[in-house]
């Protein structure tokens, strides 16, 4: 199987796993949130505990979350493929997208930044761009 297909299949598995949030809804706690910026406060935890979600509601919520995550990746890939344009960042030239490529064994790029590391730091850049537009 080619690397792109492996990546896309694995992405669907990640989406499924991350959409399974019923425990976070039924027993919300600080430990269930990965990044400190999104930790729930006591008021938010208490509000979720009052909801008394049943299995049908939890299943519906998980489907909505899964669909939302999938749509987010779709839109991100549209940006990569240059069939979508940046919305909040003004670029000086025509947006041509980006290319992700399969690595070769023992291949390293100088000054290579890893996206999984850069995503959290980019939050603050995004926030700054959002605040410019308001």
Q: Are 19 and 69 in contact (CB under 8 A)?
A: yes
Which range scores top for mean pLDDT: 76-85, 98-107, 114-123?
76-85
Confidence band, pLDDT 50/70/90 cuts, at residue 133:
low
Q: Which of 62, 51, 78 is nearest to 22 (CA)?
A: 62
Report the predicted TM-score, pTM, of the whole model to 2 decimal places. Answer: 0.83
- Report the range of poorest mean pLDDT among 4-13, 56-65, 94-103: 94-103
Domain containing 63: what range?
A: 3-133
How far, in Å, CA of 74 to CA of 81, rounded?
Answer: 10
pLDDT at 117: 87
DSSP state, residue 92 = S
For the residues 32-55, what does the mean pLDDT come to?
A: 91
**Total domain count for the chain?**
1
Q: Which of 51, 24, 49, 50 is nearest to 39 (CA)?
A: 24
């Amino acid at each position: 199987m080619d690397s792109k297909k492996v990546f896309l299949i694995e992405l669907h598995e990640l989406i499924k796993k991350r959409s399974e949030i019923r425990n976070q809804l039924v027993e919300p706690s600080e430990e269930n949130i990965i990044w400190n910026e999104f930790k729930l406060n006591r008021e938010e935890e208490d509000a979720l505990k009052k909801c008394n979600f049943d299995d049908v509601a939890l299943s519906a919520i998980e489907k909505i979350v899964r669909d939302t995550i999938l749509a987010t990746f779709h839109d991100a890939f549209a940006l990569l493929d240059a069939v979508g344009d940046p919305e909040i960042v003004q670029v000086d030239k025509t947006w041509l997208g980006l290319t992700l490529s399969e690595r070769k064994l023992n291949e390293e790029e100088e000054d290579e930044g890893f996206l999984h590391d850069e995503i959290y730091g980019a939050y603050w850049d995004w926030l700054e761009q959002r605040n410019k537009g308001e």
